[in-house]
């Protein structure tokens, strides 16, 4: 039986702390905003997107920048609305100077090239988008921006392996787009575009792009993307949507609402994603939560292609909503995923238990796998899981005993 397991750590260690995005009350005399933010706000004011009466505006907060209420805001009240002409998405790129060379590229790569080009162009050559790009940070706390020394602090975790895999993926995509798009089109990219630029754009998209919007799977919404996250908000409902600008208008607008009441001077916050684990939050945004439901470990199981019953097992797996390689998220203090044990028993089937794979049992075999098949089958499952756990833990720089001893000393 061929299986492999990967795990994520609930609390990655980092020399500089993660940002926990909680509601903060701004002081009477908050730190002044960077000039680029004031320039950006003036641009949106001149374009009639915002005004002095807007419910919220950019402010300096614990996380850096955020949206701060200028007056009391009611639950589900609209905080801001941004017309489509100010969005950055693949359509924006298609209509730009680099649109013709981006045909056929992945959507995120198109937008990444657009951001990089706007960032690297001279100030006298840039478009109005430069006012937005200048507000974007040079990096985030995401693990993709960590140094090798910092990454060594999460050695052994799934977060580390995922981070390295993501960076390798971005590198490969960069080398390909460099050869096929950037270098052959020097008139469009007259400056040097580096891997670091590409990683920057990727990180910006991971941390700021809105998804799950009607007709929009990847879109940056200037100003709205300053909204920060609060773990105390436990619903994603009604926070934002795309709607028509009016009864007689075909223009679409992005509408951002506050999911909770907010007092003047406080941050307007939303829930980023209820379904992401701490490892995913760390990779995307650079922070984690203490919420137990975020402490998820991803277990990866696989039907070996060398298994003599591979075809039968794969057929059964796919008929019951699983795959050759299947991922199961195990959350601390919660029951195991419902399909995990049946899948494990299926993968471990062999010997005298293999009769269950015969076609006569095909429609009922999954029901049989809901319960123990045999003592031998259960023993194989236990041995494999225990061995995989021990293998995963061996990758950490400390042992369980050392961690327990440390905790006792800290009491």
User: Which residue, among 191, 168, 210, has the nearest Cα to 113 in the 3D structure?
Assistant: 191
Q: How far apart are CA 377 and CA 351, in angstroms?
A: 9
- Active-site option among 272, 285, 297, 343: 272
Q: Are strands 228-229 and 269-270 parallel, antiparallel or unpaired?
A: parallel
Q: In degrees to the nearest 10, what's the CA dihedral of 211, 213, 218, 220?
A: -90
Give the Å distances, CA to CA, from 122 to 11, 37, 118, 134, 263.
Answer: 42, 19, 9, 12, 41
Q: What phi, psi does 357 have (nearest 5°)? A: -85, -5
Residues 347, 352, 354, 356: is their CA dihedral positive or negative? negative
80's tokens? 């801001």
- Answer yes or no: are the C-beta atoms of 228 and 20 closer than 8 Å: no
Report the distance separating Cα 240 and Cα 185, nearest Å.
38
272 given a catalytic annotation: yes
Q: Which residues pair with 398 in a beta bridge?
A: none
CA atoms within 13 A on the CB side of 217: 3
Give the C-alpha separation, 207 to 216, whole Å: 16
Q: Which helix (H) or strand (E) holds 253?
A: strand 249-257
Work out the number of other CB atoms within 10 angstroms of the CB of residue 177: 21
What are the catalytic residues?
272
């Amino acid at each position: 039986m061929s299986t492999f397991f990967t795990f994520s750590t609930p609390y990655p260690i980092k020399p500089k702390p993660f940002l926990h995005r909680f509601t903060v009350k701004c002081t009477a005399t908050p730190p002044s905003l960077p000039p680029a933010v004031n320039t950006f706000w003036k641009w949106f004011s001149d374009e009639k997107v915002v005004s002095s009466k807007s419910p919220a505006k950019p402010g300096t907060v614990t996380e850096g920048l955020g949206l701060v209420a200028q007056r009391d805001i009611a639950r589900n009240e609209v905080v801001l609305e941004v017309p489509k002409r100010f969005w950055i998405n693949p359509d924006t790129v298609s209509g730009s100077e680099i649109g013709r060379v981006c045909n056929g590229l992945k959507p995120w790569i198109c937008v990444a090239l657009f951001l990089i080009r706007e960032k690297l162009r001279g100030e006298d050559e840039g478009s109005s988008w430069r006012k937005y790009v200048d507000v974007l940070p040079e990096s985030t706390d995401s693990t993709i921006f960590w140094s090798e020394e910092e990454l060594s602090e999460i050695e052994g975790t799934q977060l580390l392996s995922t981070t390295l895999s993501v960076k390798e993926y971005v590198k490969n995509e960069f080398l390909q787009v460099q050869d096929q798009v950037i270098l052959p089109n020097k008139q469009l990219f007259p400056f040097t575009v580096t891997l670091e630029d590409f990683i920057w754009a990727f990180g910006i998209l991971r941390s700021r792009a809105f998804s799950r919007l009607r007709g929009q799977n990847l879109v940056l919404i200037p100003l709205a993307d300053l909204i920060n996250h609060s773990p105390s908000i436990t619903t994603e409902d009604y926070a934002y949507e795309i709607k028509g600008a009016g009864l007689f208008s075909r223009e679409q607008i992005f509408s951002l609402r506050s999911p909770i009441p907010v007092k003047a001077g406080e941050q307007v916050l939303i829930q980023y994603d209820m379904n992401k684990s701490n490892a995913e939050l760390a990779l995307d945004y650079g922070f984690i939560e203490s919420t137990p439901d975020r402490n998820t470990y991803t277990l990866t199981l696989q039907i070996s292609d060398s298994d003599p019953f591979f075809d039968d097992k794969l057929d059964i797996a796919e008929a019951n909503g699983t795959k050759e390689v299947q991922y199961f998220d195990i959350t601390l203090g919660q029951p195991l995923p419902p399909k995990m044990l049946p899948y494990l028993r299926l993968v471990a089937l062999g010997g005298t238990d293999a009769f269950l794979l015969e076609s006569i049992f095909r429609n009922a075999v999954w029901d049989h796998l809901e319960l123990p098949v045999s003592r031998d089958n259960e023993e194989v499952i236990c041995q494999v899981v225990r061995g995989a756990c021990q293998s995963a833990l061996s990758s950490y720089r400390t042992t369980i005993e050392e961690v327990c001893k440390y905790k006792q000393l800290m009491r």
